[in-house]
Structure 1
Amino acid sequence: MAVNLPPPEAESLLPVGGVRLGAAQAGIKKPQRYDLLLIELAPGSEVAAVFTRNRFCAAPVTVAREHLAKGGIRALVVNTGNANAGTGSEGIRRARETCAAVARLLGCAPEQVLPFSTGVIMEPLPLERLIAGLPRCVASLRPDGWLLAAEAIMTTDTVPKACSERLDIAGMPVTVTAIAKGAGMIHPNMATLLGFVATDAAIASSLLARLVHRIADASFHCITVDGDTSTNDALVLMATGSAGVRFATGDELGFATLEEALTRAARRLAQAIVRDGEGATKFITVTVEEGRNQEECRRVGYAIARSPLVKTAFFASDPNLGRILAAVGAAGIEDLDVERVRLYLGDLRVAERGGRAADYQEAEALRIMREPEITVRVALGRGDAVATVWTCDFSYDYVRINAEYRT
């Protein structure tokens, strides 16, 4: 059960001019579930993306990078149930064949198609089933298909993840709509997640390429469920230009408003992934402040957020908070002065001057840890930098879900 994450309503997801979406039940892993998505983009759309840094990156990631560098992208194709990762040269061939099949149906070049896959690693992609499902995707293409699209890319997710917003920029309506999937294998360096964010503003290619990195750093690079980085992760930012508002440099009036909206959408989806983390029962915000730089604040935040001992304590609502101090001390800051470190659980001061705070009350800590949403705050006493990461607890169900994943 996701933590305070209701499913999106179809009517809340606004069409983005220049984008059509279609989904099909291709039987890639399981029958009678939507597992194939096609996103068609109008000519002239710009696309930018960031991908996993896992050296065993999946075949579709390799092909998508190659195609993206050539520009002129007209379509994205996404399958679930099979990652097409750890599949060698044959996996590359099948990813290319997927693009060629889409191109034949849409009347574009194979290099104008970006492939994405998610699911089991080291299994051959069932190409015949995928290609057989593509005509049904094309037949169902529609501008208001965002909710079904969000459902079609789910794997172990329990809730589809999508959001939408309409802005007023220079008197013109501009739309941002986004979907994502992910519940496990979530950690930065593209955390398994896929995210697709679209706007009908026009954004120049070079600006869009910088923008997608900034958005990722403020959202999907701030989450962890289990500390594992997938082979298939990608965040894609699409700008169709149909709204009549154009940004070439980022200095134009209204661009900051658009960037804030795009970042807001990505952050909502990133947090939704954590709220729907495999087996999650708690949503945990970890803020590290008073660091010398943001990098060390994030290092400490992740040391806490990915610690199995910390995460299991939160699941049990057990205020065994010395585990958090241990994680801070093991974060690799060699000159950390523990006498200056302060630890808070919510507004409750837990530790200071190297030990338990004089007014700490375990009963109050127990009350806080029983809540579904918890904030941990660490002050390092070293400077002015701050960083926030989001994580969840580890429950029995996390083990069960991953032990049964292939069955």
Structure 2
Amino acid sequence: MNRTAQPAGTPVRSVPSKFRGPFVRWPRIADATLALAMFVAVTSLEEGPGDSLVVRPVVDLPPAVLLLFAAAGAALYWRRHKPLAVLSVALAAWAPMLGSSYANVGGIVIVALYSAGRHTQDRRWGPLGVVAAVGAVTLDGLLLSLPAGEIGFGCLVMLGAWYMGRRLRLRSERAAQLRQEQAAEAQRIAAEERTHIARELHDVVAHRVSMMTVQAGAARMVAAEDPQGALEAMTAVEEAGRQALDELRHLLGVLRPKAERDGLGPQPGLTDLPRLVAQVREAGLDVSLTDDIRAPLPARVELSVYRIVQEALTNVLKHSGPHTRTEVRLGHDQCGPGISIEVLDDGQGAALQSVSGTARTTGMGGHGIVGMRERALLLGGTLDAGPRPGGGFRLTAHLPVQPVLGEPA
């Protein structure tokens, strides 16, 4: 069984999230701070001799210029929701000041160009805004008699700001599309597994059970008048039941992992985990087991714990190879009634080094994580899996411990 991509809507609690800066965590506050900082910069700084920046007294600014600065700076607050309008306001505020000492609104225009590329799907007005900004830079340079190289650099900065925003948007759109495709694939795999099992159960068992029902009904009807006929009918029911049981055992053997097909015996539980770990060690995996569960668990929960650990260790051995350092940790949840399962590996095995990181996380061709997640969801729990920042893989499952109504603990 391979590692299969998790649904996009499932939060990955077991994998540390990427660094999220203030523009992601608090977008409105960050945009307001950016707008204020840009306004303060354009009003209090101006270009001095030798391309230096000098402080300019705000009282020296004409009221009309101060109003244009305020409009251009304040517009940045809406740069995510109305990026093209913000770019238009910034260009309109910059145009009357081209060729003067107040034409330092270009910094605001750069931010507006980046925002237009990052936060809009429009493919026509964004490039037109770049053309307008490049034209403004060229005109300002000509009016100030700047060198051609300096004008060209300014044009490249304007183009680069929009292009960077556009590239980031396209990359995020591709990532979102990939998550949707992986979620759809996971749902398809789960539905395919359910359909397969349901079809097999119907084809193998339904016919025999139908025969048993008919024969039992016939025996009940003739029991008083024809005891011998009733006995023969019940004998047929017994035979059909034996055949159905044999076929059901065969079906369950096919659906089980290969290692469990030798016999039907008792279902494995927590007491069988040390034996499982020993078997995996014999296969070459460097695995340790920490079991802090002391209270008795319902039978279904114990079976699910065993199967999840078994599948996780199989994935580690298959994807990372022998000598991979692996830790299995079992314990009680600290925040509520339930147990937690954590399987960590460092991904530093001696085999399968040609397997790419994408293949490890998406699990092309198998249903491993989907099957484990389905098992956890059936108990009302959760299962998350994904790569670790320092390398390797991490799987975490949380299962409730309350027994289902009618199920023995």
Task: Give the TM-score of the pair, scaled to structure 2.
Answer: 0.20
Which structure: greater strand fraction?
1
Greater C-alpha radius of gyration: 2
Higher helix share: 2
